[in-house]
Amino acid sequence: MDSTVGGVEWTSDDTSASEVSRSDKAREFYEEKIYKPAIVAWSDMRTRIGILLMSIYGLMAVVAIAGLWRAPTSSQAPERYMQPFQNWDYPLGSTASGVDIMALIIHSTDEMLLMILAGGVWATGLAVAVGTLAGYKGGTIDNVLMSFSDLVMAIPGLPLVIILAFTFNPENPIFVGIIININYWAGLGRSLRSQVLTIREESYVEASRTMGVSTPRILRKDVIPNLMPYITVNFVFAARYVVFASVGLFFLGVLPYTQANWGVTLQRAYSGGALFAPEAAHWLIAPMLAIGVLSLALILLGQGLDRVFNPRVRTRLAGESESTAADEEEDTFGGKVM
């Protein structure tokens, strides 16, 4: 293999460069993709709380799957309408039929998480694909994709979901998640497209085009990374939407009944008169809290995650140095230093 290109000796003084060992690569990957984002995420109080709360849910899901807590069935508790925090075997008390509320909460978690993940990925993934392609390519592709997504947006969401739910009777939580967000991607795709229109005109994108870099690669390396803050925030919104929509739909009975489900629990609590009877209030409050705290966790996470994708924040927190004082002047005036 020749080492001269363009008449220049390409061997540099730094001979250690050519040995890029496996461990070096692994270490680099770890640092760039895991360690530094983690520091940035952790540094922000909101994200920190968000992460902690989410890990509680994650823990509950693991417990549910591993079967470390009893599954909810009737008459399992020593008494009915047991109040919370009295019996530590049944920390959240029990329902009218003596079902352990804690079990109800825990065993809903894994399905719920799967649902919101599926819904979020569906909505965001499709939106990114459609939006970036339409925005970057323009022309006919843009017209076709946008016309299609306008059509999809025009279909009213909730009635569509209800019809689909009645038609398909989905049991699989992933399927449920996708159905709930079936046309969420269209609006998101449009706003991503307008952002791509701006990014496309940036000098570094033109430079990549001039180098002959293929369109998929430009989208992957130049366009999407700059959209990541927007994408993560919207992923979180899509996930939240699934939370509330699914609870609502289960409450209404549109989605097929499963024993362990917050929405269903709410519905039973409500129809069991928990709204009026103080001794049954905990039955209603427990799922409400579960839902509310999950939503809060998602919001907090979303707010902090966009900082992870900001290279300035990342390098500042990782303690890397800057070249000159130009950066200080730039910080103070927020404008370009000529």
Distance between CA atoms of 149 and 37, rounded to whole angstroms?
34
CB burial readout 161-193, b (16+ within 10 A) else e: bbebbeeeebeebbbbbbbbbbbbbbbbbbebb
Distance between CA atoms of 50 and 46, rounded to whole angstroms?
6
Q: Which residues have C-beta within 8 Å of that of residue 48, sequence separation ≥ 6? A: 41, 42, 304
169 and 187 in contact (C-beta within 8 Å)? no
- In a 3-state reduction of DSSP, which class is residue 257? coil
Distance between CA atoms of 193 and 151, rounded to whole angstroms?
16
The nearest distance, CB 11 to another protein, in angstroms, is 6
85 and 91 in contact (C-beta within 8 Å)? yes
Taking the CA atoms of residue 172, residue 173, residue 176 and residue 177 in that order, the dihedral angle to the nearest 10 degrees is -150
Distance between CA atoms of 238 and 132, rounded to whole angstroms?
18
- Nearest to another protein of 279, 327 (CB atom): 327
The nearest distance, CB 208 to another protein, in angstroms, is 7
Residues that bind another protein (CB under 8 A): 1, 5-14, 17-20, 25, 202-204, 206-213, 221-222, 225-226, 309, 311-312, 314-315, 320-329, 332-333, 335-338
- Nearest to another protein of 276, 336 (CB atom): 336
The nearest distance, CB 18 to another protein, in angstroms, is 4
- Nearest to another protein of 45, 220 (CB atom): 220
The CA R_g of the chain, rounded to the nearest whole Å, is 26
- Nearest to another protein of 275, 337 (CB atom): 337
Structure tokens at 257: 């009944």
- Nearest to another protein of 220, 277 (CB atom): 220
- Nearest to another protein of 167, 324 (CB atom): 324
- Nearest to another protein of 139, 335 (CB atom): 335
The nearest distance, CB 180 to another protein, in angstroms, is 32
Rounded to the nearest 10 degrees, what angle do helices 45-66 and 36-43 cross at?
110
